[in-house]
Amino acid sequence: RTRFSDDYLWLPFVTAEYIRATGDNEILNIKVPFLDHDSLKCHEDEKYCQPRVTEEVASLFDHCIRSIEYGLKFGEHDLPLIGGGDWNDGMNRVGIQGTGESVWLGWFFYTLLGEFIPFCYHENDREFAYELEKKREQLQKDLEENAWDGEWYLRAFYDDNTKLGSKENDECKIDSISQSWSVISKAAPKERALSAIQSAWRYLVKEE
């Protein structure tokens, strides 16, 4: 177990990618058990364990919905909480107190919702689909309002609201993944996405 914010979100993301590639919507109806183990104690950030397989089962669609619902946690800047880290394991202390936020996770969540919302309609869960559409639209606005640093996108906010991946930082002034996913997600305005990528190239690439 960990307190990482993105671990559980890869299930709906990969499921959506699988269906997009194969056209096999029936996989959403397959019944799958859960894994279970003791929850982390307040002083534990992670724990290696041998999980139990439960007798309880649910459809893969339900597993994906639970994963997304669990991930709908946002901080002061209306960006997803980073928890014990996200893509980068080395950022495991950025939001360990529970209030730090991840810009990259915002791009990823935006992408995930765009991929998965159509399956909510397919499974006749229209109410949840509407909710996710509103959340996705608002998330795009919040990323532009709170994560833009002038020439590129921030990487995260620490628990104390200090910026990470900002021109104000002496270290980790710019992080590639926030710039890359502003493009991959197609959420960033074209002009800003171009500026972000050009900035990443200028600061992070040694052509020689």
What residues act catalytically? 89
Three-state helix/strand/coil letters over 99-164? CCEEHHHHHHHHHHHHHHHHHHHHCCCHHHHHHHHHHHHHHHHHHHHHCECCCCECCEECCCCCEE
Query: Are the C-beta atoms of residues 194 and 200 closer than 8 Å to each other?
Result: no
- Percentage helix, strand, coil for the chain under 3-state DSSP, each rounded to 5: 50, 15, 40
Nearest to 135 by CA among 178, 106, 100: 106
CA-CA distance, 10 to 22, in Å (whole number)? 18
